[in-house]
Amino acid sequence: MQVQPEAVYATDEYGRPFIILREQGRKTRSHGIEAIKSHVLAARTVANIIRTSLGPRGLDKILISPDGDITVTNDGATILSQMEVEHQIAKLLVQLSKSQDDEIGDGTTGVVVLAGALLEQSEALLDRGIHPIRIADGFDKACTVAVEQLDRISDRVPFSLENKQNLIKTATTSLGSKIVSKEIQRFAEIAVDAVLTVADLERRDVPFDLIKVDGKVGGSLADSTLIKGVLIDKDMSHPQMPSIVKDAKLAILTCPFEPPRPKTKHKLDITSVEEYKKLRDYEKEKFEDMIRMVKDTGANLVICQWGFDDEANHLLMQNDLPAVRWVGGPEIELIAIATQGRIVPRFEDLTPEKLGKAGIVRELTFGTTRDKMLVIEECANTRAVTIFVRGSNKMIVDEAKRALHDALCAVRNLVVDNRVVYGGGAADISSSIAVAKAADEIPSIEQYAMRAFASALDAIPLALAENSGLSPIETLAEVKSRQVTENNPRLGIDCSGKGESDMKKQFVYDPLISKRQQYLLATQLVRAVLKIDDVIVAGEAEG
């Protein structure tokens, strides 16, 4: 007799992964404990898929979109957001990684692995007849103990604009598992310099709006640079316009270089050559008026959100007024912030005070291609920066951008709160030991749930050891016993094979707020899942 598997991991005709549960094939609904077990199964299947992507030796996944685009990544949030999941609980796990990504920006794989491990442990407790609410309460108590332990073992890392080494080490930890690891030092320095340029250290605030990450295929990862200014994927509207403008005064316009037209539907009949000439002269006169209004303010460069036709382009060139057209809304806003100019919706409103100021505006050219980009540097507001990523193909550029986002978030978290715990599973093992100890002192039935929580915390170091090619159980047991005997919470899994388990000596840092958020979010989700004992589809009658 062939036994049907509880869950099947399959792909659709586009290659997108999804999960088929045996429950989905049945007409009858499961209730109570059976329903909770089916939810646990769905969550566990999702967690197992991305478990292999955890850590510096984690493997990548290739995701194929409906239109055939491929994404190669080991970023948990990206993998889950592009997976086609049908089960309701699996969707909750996707949202869990997204909330970790939105709030913290790093640790998106770890939070899902932890949630999957907690649900796996809770299934064993349900089999022993413990009520789901008592399990959820026990997990809550254990989470409180684990978070308190994180606070106890955390260290403050000093940093300043002059001494950036600790921030660079944190960025290096974040980038260690990414595709950019060959140029890890360069990318870590770029991420730290970008954050410190825009950060307000007194208020401990990092406005990410001022950091733009752009990329272009061609060159290698080593050619990626940090530009103190704004980079836009445009060039001058006319090939004979100057490619460099020094001491630029920018007129930033959201009105087109076009003759005024009635807002309502209009119709103009031209029946003779004289009428046509009159219309042409009127249009030329209007163009010249517009250019005169811009020139009168002292502007020597026009940034326009809309396009303009050949005649307007020709007149702009004749009047020595370089222009850039079709600049998108977000880019116009960034240029306005960087150059401290005002976005002007009508030519009549343009005044010298509203012009943006930049030391130099120049075109960038790339190799033998005709591609050009525009760099606005030495801006009035020196806090706006652009990270320009290069790579041999689009896939690598996209993955490098995602890696940089994680590194920027890790550095930002340290600027907000400069406490760190140590990576390589060291903090998880230490919290696991603390929770197991606390469970021994609780007389009620919640002690079982607390011990289960301690076992679930071991899932992260186990996965790290497994992905690094080590024997998971032996490695974890050895590190755990050393942590207890040496009373050293910095000991973790040596993923890089350097022969050193002390993560402080390996400089493997995790921001405290990132690790704390992982525990809190995973526990909240598991508590919510344990309280769901039925799924009712709107509009469906009882089967």
Which domains does the chain possess?
Answer: 7-156+421-530 (1.10.560.10), 235-381 (3.50.7.10)
CA dist 116 and 119 (Å) reads 5
Helix axes 273-296, 310-318, angle to 10 degrees: 50
Helix boundaries (H) for 320-393: 329-339
Place of tokens 């460069």: 301
Question: From first to last of its 543 residues, what are the pLDDT tens digits of the chain?
Answer: 444 455 666 776 676 776 666 544 443 455 677 778 888 888 888 888 888 888 888 888 888 888 888 888 888 888 888 887 777 888 888 888 888 888 888 878 889 999 999 998 998 898 888 888 999 999 999 999 999 999 999 988 887 777 788 888 888 888 877 878 788 899 999 999 999 988 888 888 888 888 989 988 888 888 899 998 899 888 888 888 888 889 989 999 988 877 766 666 667 778 888 888 888 888 888 888 888 888 889 888 999 988 887 878 888 888 888 999 888 888 898 899 888 899 998 888 889 999 999 988 988 887 767 788 889 888 888 788 999 999 888 888 988 998 898 889 888 888 888 888 988 889 999 999 999 999 888 888 889 999 999 999 999 999 999 988 888 899 999 999 999 999 888 898 988 777 788 888 888 888 899 899 999 999 999 998 888 877 777 655 554
Determine the pLDDT at residue 65.
84
> Is 109 known to be catalytic?
yes
CA-based torsion, 193, 195, 197, 201: positive or negative: negative
Contact yes or no for 375/338 (Cβ under 8 A): no
> Is 309 known to be catalytic?
no
Determine the pLDDT at residue 369.
73
CA dist 525 and 92 (Å) reads 8
- SS3 helix, strand, coil % of the chain, rounded to 5? 50, 15, 35
Helix boundaries (H) for 319-458: 329-339, 394-416, 426-440, 446-457
Residue 250: which H helix or E strand, with range? strand 244-253
Amino acid at 479: V
- Comparing CA positions, the residue from 488, 508, 489 lying closest to residue 498 is 508
Determine the pLDDT at residue 24.
46
Amino acid at 414: L
> Is 209 known to be catalytic?
no
> Is 406 known to be catalytic?
yes
Candidate list 109, 339, 386, 523, residue with the active-site label: 109
CA dist 421 and 36 (Å) reads 34
Candidate list 45, 108, 339, 386, residue with the active-site label: 108
Token pair of 442 as six digits: 């609780």
DSSP codes joined into one string, 242-288: -SEEEEEEEEEE-S-BS----SS-------SHHHHHHHHHHHHHHHH
Contacts of 521 (CB under 8 A, 6+ apart): 96, 99, 100, 111, 115
Determine the pLDDT at residue 389.
92
- Per-residue HEC secondary structure of 147-174 comes to HHHHHHHCEECCCCCCCCHHHHHHHHHH
Candidate list 101, 193, 398, 406, residue with the active-site label: 406
pTM: 0.80
Tell me the CB-side half-sphere exposure of residue 263, using CA atoms within 13 A.
0
Determine the pLDDT at residue 193.
92
Contact yes or no for 416/442 (Cβ under 8 A): no
Candidate list 75, 137, 193, 458, residue with the active-site label: 75
